[in-house]
Structure 1
Amino acid sequence: MAILSAMQSAALRLVGRKPTTFFGASGTFEAEIADWTNEVAQDIAKYQDWQALQSVATITGDGSTEEFDLPADYDRMLVYSDVQDLEAWCWGYRAFDDINQFLYHQARGFGPWPGGWIIYGNKLRFSPAPADGQIATYPYIIKNWAKSSDSTPKAAFDIDTDSFVLPERLLTLALVWRWRENKKLDASGDQEAFIKALDEYGAKDRGSRPIFKNARRYIAGAYPAWPWALGGV
């Protein structure tokens, strides 16, 4: 189903009319809806690791190459993305915790067998380099959450006949909420309706959700408070 129907449904709820076109239309309202459609679609795609956005990449080592280009449609790793070593059935590549750990092992010429990996500078990097002929695979999330009428993947909508690879009902609900909120209108009920639908679709999809590590914020150079009372007992 084309996104046109999702935008028309939102327009009916917002202004009581049903435009026949949005992308390329001269009206301000239509232009706003077209712009917001890409905004909310991006938010929905980032919400979790939707199955429809999952893909698998394969790299083959040559014994010397340590860094590999990411796929052209790469957006991000899954919350749980393991780089599998197809030559060793017992374990795969270890994910380095951070760039400092990776550089430490790389500089000293040793590391876990068959090796470890990290992403920085838009490259997938290994230490040590995968052996010649050694094959590794990893899952990732694609950036192309849109597709044209002939099913060509796209990273954004630019015509009314495009479609969304995720539930288009979410577009309608999100458009109603975000447009009203942007106009300083009461949108609390619209936000609740969108979040409820998003959670329902997300639960059925079973994709993993982002995990925020070390969410508590500390001022640089400060230390956590002493957890017990000060002074004598």
Structure 2
Amino acid sequence: MSLLTVIQDAMVLCGQSQPSSVVSNTDPTVLKFLAFAQIEAEETGSEFNWRNLNVAMSLTGDGTTTLFALPSDFERILQGQALWSTKYPSIPLQGPISSQELLALKALPVMPVRPVWRLIGGQLEIWPALSAAEVVNGEYRSFNPIVSGDGNTRKARWSNDADYTLFPEVILKLGVIWRWKQSKGLDYAEDFRSYSLERDKKAGHEAGGRIVRMTNTFSLGSDQWPGVITVISP
């Protein structure tokens, strides 16, 4: 399937004429269906953990850098996803910790041997700095739910009729249908029910539960420490 076939099917099911094109079309009705497809791609792409939206990430230390720029399509790191260092392959790095927790750690006269991490602005901070050539691997969620027809270019918006979504496209079609009927003041309850059931079923097949929180709890008052303590001489 593609954007074109999705919109063609949706418009026929909504009692409209089947268009021969979508993105380049100037018909207001077709453009409205296109707008609903955009909304559906953004909302469904972000709300569930679709595996095709997970992207591998790798950071290499140089002994001094602590702030690493996030990828341009970074949306979030999924809850439960860890960062793994080649220097400590059996234990994930502690994080994400809050800004206050990191500031408190930096104020102490000791530092953890195994780094901790947090997200700040458009960067990922790992502290203390990774050793030279130390590699940290992980995954992040991309906010680009659409891909070009050749499968090579991920994007945030539809730009070609051959584009398709990185989540099951039946959800896109059902989502466009109920949204159009709602906009026309028509009865869309059964369409919305079918859409919701299909979306939840497909998300469940991918273990795509909704995101609840982003930050792990970390306490300086705990009697456990995420690594070996090194005392720094004055």
Q: Tell me if both proteins adopt one fold, taking TM over 0.5 as the criterion.
A: yes
TM-score by length of 1: 0.85
Are the aligned partners of 2:145 and 2:165 in contact in 1 as well (CA < 8 Å)?
yes
Corresponding residue for 1:25?
Answer: 25
Distance apart, 1:96 and its partner CA: 4.0
Gaps of 5+ in 1: 214-233
Deviations along 1:165-215, one digit per CA (max 9) or x if unpaired, are 2211111100011122223322111111111000111111123431158xx
Uncovered stretches (5+) of structure 2, i.e. residues with no partner: 215-234
Instruction: Please give the alpha-carbon distance, in whole angstroms, between the structure 2 residues aligned to 1:124 and 1:70.
Output: 6
Question: 1:64, 1:206 → 2: CA distance?
Answer: 38
- Structure 1 pair 111–182 and aligned structure 2 pair: CA distance change class (3 A): farther
The whole-number CA distance in structure 2 between the counterparts of 1:25 and 1:6 is: 15
Partner amino acid for 1:197? E
Runs ≥4 in structure 1, deviation > 3 angstroms? Answer: 107-113
Matches within 5 A, 1:27-42: 27-42=27-42
Q: How many Å separate the matches in 1 of 2:51 and 2:199?
A: 14
Q: For 1:126 and 1:116, locate their aligned partners in 2 and report how far apart those are by CA, in whole Å.
A: 6
Alpha-carbon distance between aligned partners in 1 of 2:183 and 2:110, rounded to the nearest angstrom: 54
**C-alpha distance in 1, partners of 2:3/2:150?**
14
TM-score using structure 2 length: 0.84
C-alpha distance 111-10 of structure 1, shift in aligned 2 (>3 A): farther
1:144 aligns with 2:144: yes
Does the 8 A contact of 1:6 with 1:168 survive in 2?
Answer: yes
CA distance in 2, matches of 1:208, 1:173: 20
Using the TM superposition, give the Cα deviation of residue 110 of structure 1 relative to its aligned residue in structure 2, in angstroms: 4.1
What is aligned with 1:162?
163
State whether residues 79 and 208 of structure 1, in contact with CA within 8 Å, keep that contact through their aligned partners in structure 2.
Answer: no
- SS of aligned partner of 1:94: coil
Whether contact under 8 Å (1:60, 1:133) holds in the other structure is: yes
C-alpha distance in structure 2 between counterparts of 1:112 and 1:93, whole Å: 11
Alignment correspondent of 1:15: 15
What is the identity, as a one-letter code, of the residue corresponding to 2:132? D
Q: Does the CA contact (< 8 Å) of 1:7 and 1:172 recur in 2?
A: yes
Cα drift, residue 92 of structure 1 = 2.1
Is the CA contact 2:85–2:134 (under 8 Å) kept in the aligned structure 1?
yes
Report the Cα distance in structure 2 between the residues aligned to 1:15 and 1:104, rounded to whole angstroms.
62
CA RMSD of aligned residues (A): 1.7
Checking the alignment, whether the CA contact within 8 Å between 1:105 and 1:127 is kept in structure 2 is no
Which residue number in structure 1 is paired with residue 56 of structure 2? Answer: 56
Return the alpha-carbon distance in structure 2 between the equivalents of residues 28 and 93 of structure 1: 52
Q: Give the conservation status (yes or no) of the 8 Å contact 2:49–2:203.
A: no
Q: In structure 2, how many angstroms separate the alpha carbons of the residues matched to 1:191 and 1:67?
A: 44
The letter for the 2-side match of 1:178 is R
Q: What is the number of equivalent residue pairs in this alignment?
A: 213
Whether the 8 Å CA contact 1:109–1:128 is kept in 2: the answer is no
> 1:192 is aligned with what amino acid?
R
Asked if 1 retains the 8 angstrom alpha-carbon contact of 2:79 and 2:213, the reply is: no
Return the letter of the residue paired with 2:62: D
Q: Distance in 1 between matches of 2:47 and 2:96?
A: 25
Deviation at 1:40, TM superposition (A): 0.3
Distance in 2 of aligned mates of 1:109 and 1:32: 60
CA deviation after TM superposition for structure 1 residue 111, in Å: 4.1
Whether 1:71 aligns to 2:95 is: no
Between stretches 115-124 and 201-210, larger displacement belongs to 201-210
Larger relative contact order (CA 8 Å, sep ≥ 6): 2
Is the CA contact (8 Å cut-off) linking 1:56 and 1:139 kept in structure 2?
A: yes
Residue of structure 2 in register with 1:223 after alignment: none
CA deviation profile, 1:48-91 (whole Å, cap 9, x unmatched): 21111112111111111010011233221112221111111331
Instruction: Report the counterpart of residue 121 of structure 2 in structure 1.
Output: 121
